[in-house]
Amino acid sequence: MQTKQELPFKKALAIAIFVILLDQVSKLLALTHLQFGQPEAVLPFMNWLLLFNPGAAFSFLAQGSGWQRWLFTALGLGASLYIVLLLRKSQSDKTLSWALSLILGGALGNVLDRIRFGAVVDFIDLHYATWHWPAFNVADSAICIGAALIVWGELRKAFGKTA
């Protein structure tokens, strides 16, 4: 019987699929409406800026000769498979299930880019004056929110609260 704190496996997968769809639609919009490398101001601290990242987070290994495309694709697929197994086991922990669903959707969204384009499509540019955070996308945001949820859930458990 499902309790209030459970997130059934099918719902967790639906969350991941929603993240993938949101990510891919947002990237399609960026690809069709933005010019590569040309920032478009949205807010005083945010631009739309179409970029391609052949590396990992913060452009790690972006200068590689192309082999990194397949390494990060394989890592993303391997991590996604492992996350699906974790989702099956963690249905009783709603916070962890949400977190894993967000990470799964984000990872697969970026894997799709690597397969299609050889790089991840980034288009969100946060900045202050001349300082810019590395460009990112919806998938990256979902992964970060998922990671934060894992930390938050574990801290709650450590301090005697239920997730």
Catalogue the active-site residues. Answer: 122, 140
Structure tokens at 40: 């478009």
C-alpha closest to that of 21 among 109, 119, 122? 109
Length of the chain counted residue by residue: 163
Secondary-structure breakdown of the chain: helix, strand, coil percentages, each rounded to the nearest 5? 60, 15, 25
Structure tokens at 122: 């980034």
Q: What are phi and psi of 41, to 5 degrees?
A: -65, 135
Task: Please report, for residues 56, 68, 124, 137, 156, the alpha-carbon distance to residue 63 in angstroms, rounded to integers and kept in the order given.
Answer: 11, 9, 21, 20, 40
Q: In this structure, are residues 63 and 70 in contact, taking their beta carbons and an 8 Å threshold?
A: no
The helix (H) or strand (E) run that includes residue 131 is strand 131-132
